[in-house]
Amino acid sequence: MAYIKIIKTIVCILFLYSNALQAQQQENPATLKTLGDLPKPDSSFMFSAVYIINEQPKILSTFRPSANTKMKLTAIASSHLGKGKILLIGSSAYFRKPMLNDQNVTKGIDSILSWARPLKKRAEPLIGVFDDDMEDFISLIKNKCNYYRIDKHKILKNTSVIFLTRDIKNPEILKNIEDYIRNGGNLVFGSPYGKLKWGGKESEVKQLNINTLFLKSGLSNKINPLFNGRLTEKNLTADTIPPYLHPLTLLPWLISNDPDRVDYYLTPYVIQPTIDLMFENNESNSHILGLVKKHFKYADSVLLPSKEKPLRISNNEQKWGYRFKGLLAEKIYLNNPTAKAENYKNFPGTIPADRVLRTKNELITIPVRVGSQGLPEPYPVYFRPHRTGFYIPAGERVLITLDESYITQSLKARIGVHRYDLSELDSINRDGHKLTRTFELNKKQTEVYSPYGGLLSICIADNSSLKEISFTLTGAVKAPRFDLHKTTKEQWKTSIRNYPAPWAELATDNVIFTVPSAHIRTMEDPEKILEFWDKVMNANADLAAISPKRIHPESIIVDSEIAFGYMFTTREEIVIPDDKSLQLMLDVDRLEKEGSWGHFHEIGHRHQFKDLDFSGLEEITVNLFTLFTYDQVLNKKLFNNEKYPDKQKFSENMRQYLNGTPSFKNWKNDPFLGLSMYIQIVDFFGWEAIKKVYRKYRALPKVAYPKSNQDKIDLWFTSICEATNSNLTDFFEIWQIPVSKTAKHEVKKYKTWIPKEIIKHQ
């Protein structure tokens, strides 16, 4: 069986490569070979990439966008549209001086003119020029052929080729160009990206409107600000075209062991954009998507992963097949309000079928809570979800009606909370695709829907000045939600906890927990558990030097499958598993007795000074917040928790390390070893020493933030010396933390301090 599978894979790869070769031969006019070795444009011009989205186009040359990568992007490509042809070049610099002074460029122009010559022999081709700033180009060609400026955008009947180096936004003009090409004309497009303004309010760099035309021929022109196209090599190249640039060769390459696959930049800047464009712009029954379904088994299979029967996606073929299945499904779900995902009943869940009432013009008012509270926040402009307490069932239409005053406020509706791709895991127990759906609320009434279903949130820009929003909701289902100090125990027990939605929320002003409803159906007293977690949040606020009255609540979301590690934290939320840790999170008696290192740790991540901590501290200083919570909320002190049961064990571990071969690298790579140094400071000077440093950090304006990693080390060193009124130079040297001479000199005024248990290591 294994032998047969190998043979099938080889046949599949040979078939795809032969298709690619055939397509390349059909689109490989010898006259364009000179374009494969053009010189690079002047460094002031940015070079944009051409993306291939189906089997039709031919890649003529490539470029390497950065010295930091071996990756190549397509520089020039050609394709057909109807009876005509399109030649897409990643820079307009080739049609202006100084590039037109280069002999290889002029040869390239000649080859383009030959490529565009009509089949019916003419003495000279007739050229149409769209742009007013192509005088250099006109001077070059005027003695070689007939030309004219396209006046009022009228294209003469016998025009052999149009040259264009700007975007076309007028729909009528774009239609004229398309009709011209489909009837046998040719278009040469030099991308204008290199001439556009970058950055700030004046930025002109947006998606080119003319891409709507190019996409019909299997091409797209894009630029990425990371690389900005300033080439690292002298010439474009056509010697070796990497397989990942063309869909026909990309598909077999995805399941290969090509060492180029490990290039960090390939997936975000080549593979993912190519695949996204493929699926967005080709019909489900197209040739290229047919190849996807034929050669990736998972892409065209019914897959129902569950906790009882997890789905293996451990190799490249399975992973990409599963991703392609999700993209194919999205084409079915798009603009289909009644579509239901194959596996929605397993996750996120379903509504009971026994006559559950839907809302009808239910008025909902939500206080707006946006802005920064000093913690690591999502990058602007972030649309912060505001929960509504309602659930949208899978495959059902729900109507949101807004007052006209809100239409210009850039509001969005989001269905669902589980938004992470799970395809990097080797096994999954639920649909591993993004399960959320977002809708712009830019009109009075908006119909929202989801093939998966999910809790409804209204997302509001973090720079909004709104204080509250009101709207009506028709067709939604009530979800269990308990708000501390607002919902009564009686309301909860008699009705709210029995609301039919499969997901529930337990909320305070500081934190919102999103949990499966099955875990709260028998919960008698949400107040007690929420009051406990409020104490945890307030302890973190205290150490982080922010107000306990938060601008917006933190979010903790339960998931049956975790995308990264056991639990993880982002700038938006904390995600935890649906296992025994969830049971602990909701058990106040156990929490007050035992605590929960995992939950305290993840909440600590939300409060770290990530922009000021030096490299290697992310998994070290986070546990200052963990220990502070154990101390302040559970009264367990420094050495009375699951990680540090007593001071003797702590001291033994520390001495064992220092008696060995201590180094800064080893210190950073062991989170609990790194934490030991901080514990010694807290044990002698108390938490107030750390608080003083963090208050100083909080007050520091961003313009004064340290510029280098050494600066960050020196800032911590001088700050903790100041806070303890002690010279910690010897202490830091024992722990091998590299402090600069300047910083050491700055603290000479203080008295030296070394913990007595490590004096001998001085």
The per-residue pLDDT for range 374-396, each reduced to its tens digit, is 999 999 899 999 999 999 999 99
Contact call for residues 415 and 450 (beta carbons, < 8 A): yes
Mean pLDDT of 310-317: 95
Predicted confidence (pLDDT) per residue in 1-19, tens digit: 444 444 444 444 444 444 4
Judgement on whether residues 646 and 618 belong to the same structural domain of the protein: yes
The string over 323-347, giving b where at least 16 C-beta atoms fall within 10 Å of a residue's C-beta and e elsewhere, is: bbbbbbbeeebeeeeebbbebbebb
Give this prediction's pTM: 0.87
Beta bridge partners of 190: 89
| Dist CA 341 CA 394 (whole Å) | 8
pLDDT of residue 40: 84
In the predicted structure, residue 25 carries a pLDDT above the cut 50: no
Q: How many domains does the chain have?
A: 4
Alpha-carbon distances of 385 from 222, 411, 438, 460, rounded to whole Å:
31, 10, 11, 7
Judgement on whether residues 55 and 149 belong to the same structural domain of the protein: yes
Give the chain's mean pLDDT. Answer: 90
| Dist CA 142 CA 160 (whole Å) | 15
Q: Is residue 220 part of a domain?
A: yes
In the predicted structure, residue 204 carries a pLDDT above the cut 60: no
pLDDT of residue 653: 83
Mean pLDDT of 729-733: 96
- Of residues 315 and 121, more confidence is placed in 315
Judgement on whether residues 588 and 733 belong to the same structural domain of the protein: no
| Dist CA 486 CA 550 (whole Å) | 17
Judgement on whether residues 638 and 658 belong to the same structural domain of the protein: yes
The CATH number covering residue 728 comes to 1.10.390.30
pLDDT band at 44 (very low <50, low <70, confident <90, very high): low
Burial class (CB in 10 A: 0-12, 13-18, 19+), 314: exposed
**Spatial CB neighbours of 636, under 8 Å, sequence gap ≥ 6:** 595, 630
Predicted confidence (pLDDT) per residue in 735-748, tens digit: 999 999 999 999 99
Q: Is residue 149 part of a domain?
A: yes
- Provide the token pair at 706: 């340290």
In the predicted structure, residue 722 carries a pLDDT above the cut 60: yes
In the predicted structure, residue 665 carries a pLDDT above the cut 80: yes
Judgement on whether residues 752 and 664 belong to the same structural domain of the protein: yes
pLDDT of residue 381: 92
Judgement on whether residues 177 and 225 belong to the same structural domain of the protein: yes
Of 454, 475, 496, the last residue of a domain is 475
In the predicted structure, residue 635 carries a pLDDT above the cut 70: yes
Contact call for residues 100 and 41 (beta carbons, < 8 A): no
Predicted confidence (pLDDT) per residue in 684-720, tens digit: 999 999 999 999 999 999 999 999 999 999 999 999 9
Q: Is residue 320 part of a domain?
A: no
Degrees (nearest 5) of the Cα angle 134, 137, 138?
85
- DSSP per residue over 23-52, as a string? HHHHT--GGGGGGGGPBPPPTTS---EEEE
Q: Is residue 318 part of a domain?
A: no
Nearest to 714 by CA among 686, 743, 693: 743
pLDDT band at 230 (very low <50, low <70, confident <90, very high): low
Predicted confidence (pLDDT) per residue in 484-516, tens digit: 999 999 999 999 999 999 999 999 999 999 999
Judgement on whether residues 558 and 598 belong to the same structural domain of the protein: yes
pLDDT of residue 51: 96
In the predicted structure, residue 452 carries a pLDDT above the cut 80: yes
Over 405-458, what HEC string results? HHCCCCCEEEECCCCCCCCCCCEECCCCCCCCEEEECCCCEEEECCCCCEEEEE
Contact call for residues 750 and 727 (beta carbons, < 8 A): yes
pLDDT of residue 118: 61
Of 216, 239, 262, the last residue of a domain is 239
Q: Is residue 138 part of a domain?
A: yes
- Provide the token pair at 456: 């409804």
- Of residues 594 and 205, more confidence is placed in 594
In the predicted structure, residue 29 carries a pLDDT above the cut 60: no
Judgement on whether residues 484 and 596 belong to the same structural domain of the protein: yes
Q: Is residue 435 part of a domain?
A: yes
Predicted confidence (pLDDT) per residue in 506-558, tens digit: 999 999 999 999 999 999 999 999 999 999 999 999 999 999 999 999 999 99
Contact call for residues 497 and 478 (beta carbons, < 8 A): no
pLDDT of residue 197: 54
Of 431, 451, 475, the last residue of a domain is 475
Mean pLDDT of 653-682: 92
pLDDT of residue 14: 43
Alpha-carbon distances of 426 from 310, 312, 318, 319, rounded to whole Å:
10, 6, 9, 8
pLDDT band at 761 (very low <50, low <70, confident <90, very high): low
Q: Is residue 340 part of a domain?
A: no
| Dist CA 129 CA 156 (whole Å) | 11
Q: Is residue 122 part of a domain?
A: yes
Domain span at 670: 609-760
In the predicted structure, residue 124 carries a pLDDT above the cut 90: no
Judgement on whether residues 447 and 483 belong to the same structural domain of the protein: no
Judgement on whether residues 586 and 665 belong to the same structural domain of the protein: no
Predicted confidence (pLDDT) per residue in 156-196, tens digit: 988 999 999 999 999 999 999 999 999 999 999 999 987 76
The CATH number covering residue 557 comes to 3.40.390.80
Helix (H) or strand (E) holding 233: none
pLDDT of residue 231: 54
Contact call for residues 265 and 71 (beta carbons, < 8 A): yes
Nearest to 323 by CA among 428, 212, 239, 463: 428
Mean pLDDT of 635-663: 85
Judgement on whether residues 192 and 231 belong to the same structural domain of the protein: yes
Mean pLDDT of 305-334: 95
The CATH number covering residue 418 comes to 2.60.120.1250
Judgement on whether residues 559 and 641 belong to the same structural domain of the protein: no
Beta bridge partners of 349: none
DSSP state letter for 56: S
